[in-house]
Amino acid sequence: MIAAILSLSAIYVMLAVGFVIVYRTSHVLNFAHGDVFMVSGYLGFALITTISLPPYWALPVSLAGGAISGLLIYAVLMAPMAGHSIFAAVLVTIALGMAIRGLALVGFKGQVTYPGRILSIEDAPYTIVPGVTLTTIEILIVLSAIVVMVALTLFFRYSPWGIRMRAASQDPRLAAYRGINIHAVFAGAWVIASAVAMYAGTLYSFSKQLSPSLSDVALRGLAVALVGGMDSMKGVVPAAIAVAAIELLVQRYGSPQMAEAIPFLIVLLVLLIRPWGLFGTKEMIDRI
C-alpha cells in the first residue's frame, strides 16, 4: 500500500510540477498537459516497437521530445496569444488537448496495451524496508520524481534563469526592461513542463498500462497542483502524497470508479475551503 502510494504520488509530482510551472509564469492553466502525458506513452511504445529501441532508451528520448514539443506549443500557439485574454489562451490549450487526443486515437486507434509486459521490461521487486516492496520501474519513478523536485527547487532558488523565471512571472514588463528575454523565459516554462510530462508518461506506461484514459490520470495531477497551491512548488509533494493516499484508500475500500472521482471531489472541497491550496500564496487569490 505504501509502495503504491509512493509510486502514484511520484507520478502526480511530475505532473503537478508542470501545471504549476506554466501557471506560475504565464497564469495559464494548461489543459493540454494531460494529453501530452498520454500521447508520450504511445509515442514511446511505438518508437520502441518500430525501431527496436531498448525500452529504457525511450526515457531520454521522451524527455528530449517533450522539450521540443513544449517549445513548439509555446512558439506556435501561446506566443501569438500574447495580448489576448488568459481565457483565450486557456481555450487554446483545451482545444490543443482535444486535437492531441484525437490524433492519438487516429494514430494508435485508442488501443489499450501493457508495454511493461509486452516488452518484458526487467521489473524485479525489491524490498526497501520491511513491508514496502517496489519494483524496478517504480523505484525509477520515485527516484525521477525526487530528482525532478530537487533539481527544480534548486533551479528556481539559485540559478539566474530560475530567478528570472520567478521575476518574469511576477512582472513581465519590468523583466523585459531589465534585459530578460521574456519569451525565452515563458518558452522555458513550457519546455520544462512538457519534458517532465512526456518523461513521466513513458515511465507510467511502462509500469501500468497504456490507454487514452491516461489523460484523465494527468488531469488528477491538476487536482494535486490545486491542492498544493497553483503557484507553489513546495506544495506539490505533500499534496501529491495526500491525494494519492486518499485515492488508493478509496480504491481499496470503495470502488475504482469512486477512486477516480475522489481527486476531483477534493478539488471542489479545496475551492470551497482553501482555494489558494496548502502552500499557495493567499494574496494571489483575488476575491470579488
Partner 1 sequence: MGTRRSGYFKADYAADLALLDTPFRRVLVGLLVLAVLAVPQVAGKYVVYVCNLTFIAIMGAIALNLLTGYAGQISLGHSAFLAVGGFVSYHFAKLGLGFVPVVVITTAIGALIGVVVGAPALRLRGLYLVLGTVGFHYVVFFLVNEYQTSGDDVLMKLTGLLLPVPDLGFVKLRNEFQWYYFLLGMLALVTCFAVNLVRTRVGRAWIAVRDRDITAAALGIDVGRYKLLAFVVSSALTSMTGALLAYVVGSVSAEYYTLTLSITYLAMVVVGGAGSILGSYLGAIFVSMLPYAITWLFESLGVSTRTQMVYLVPSQIVVFGLIMILFLIFEPRGLVGIWQRVRAYFELWPLRKSILSERK
Partner 2 sequence: MTMAGTDMAGGQAVQATAPPLLKVTNLEVVYHRAATAVQGVSIKVDQGTITAIVGTNGAGKTTTLAAIAGFMRADDVHITQGDVLFDGIQIKELPNYRISALGISLVPERDKIFKVLSVEDNLAACVPGRGTEGVMSRADVYQLFPALASRRGTVAGYLSGGERQMLAIAMTLLSRPKLIMIDEMSLGLAPVIVAQLQESVRTLRREFGISFLIVEQNAATALEIAEYTYVLENGRVVFDGTRDRLLGHDDFQEFYLGIERGGEQKSYKDIKQYRRKRRWFG
Residues that bind partner 2 (CB under 8 A): 82-83, 160, 163-164, 166-167, 170-182, 281
Residues 223-282 that bind partner 1 (CB under 8 A): 223, 226, 257-258, 260-261, 263-268, 271-272, 275
Nearest residue to 42 (alpha-carbon basis) of 94, 106, 122: 106
Least Å from the CB of residue 192 to partner 2: 18
**Nearest-angstrom CA–CA distance, 76 and 150:** 30
173 binds, among partner 2, partner 1, none (CB under 5 to 8 A by kind): partner 2
Q: Which stretch binds partner 1 (CB under 8 A): 8-16, 75-83, 153-161, 167-175?
A: 75-83
Of 38-46, 93-101, 168-176, 202-210: span binding partner 1 (CB under 8 A): 93-101
Q: What is the chain's alpha carbon radius of gyration, rounded to the nearest angstrom?
A: 19
Q: Return the amino acid letter for 100.
A: I
Choosing among partner 1, partner 2, none, which partner's interface includes residue 95 (Cβ < 5 to 8 Å by kind)? partner 1
| Identity of the residue, 165 or 236, whose beta carbon is nearer to partner 2 in the bound complex | 165
Q: Tell me the residue length of the chain.
A: 288
Whether 1 and 248 have beta carbons less than 8 Å apart is answered as yes
Closest separation in Å from C-beta 81 to partner 1: 7
Residues with Cβ within 8 Å of residue 270, at least 6 apart in sequence: 226, 227, 277
Nearer to partner 1, 51 or 106 (CB): 106
Give, in order, the Cα–Cα distances in Å from 166 to each of 62, 144, 181, 201.
26, 24, 13, 27
User: First vs last Cα of the chain: how many Å apart?
Assistant: 43
Report the C-alpha gap between 154 and 162 in whole angstroms.
8
Candidates 64, 105, 146, 154; binder of partner 1 (CB under 8 A) is: 105
Contact between 96 and partner 1 by CB under 8 A: the answer reads: yes
Based on the shown chain and the rule CB under 8 A, indicate whether residue 46 belongs to the binding site for partner 1: no
| Contact assessment for residue 198 and residue 36, using Cβ atoms and an 8 Å cutoff | yes
As a whole number of angstroms, the distance between CA 118 and CA 110 comes to 17
Which CB atom, from 4 or from 167, has the smaller least distance to partner 2?
Answer: 167
Contact set with partner 1 (CB under 8 A): 27, 29, 31, 77, 80-81, 84-88, 90-92, 94-103, 105-106, 109-110, 216, 219, 222-223, 226, 257-258, 260-261, 263-268, 271-272, 275, 285-288
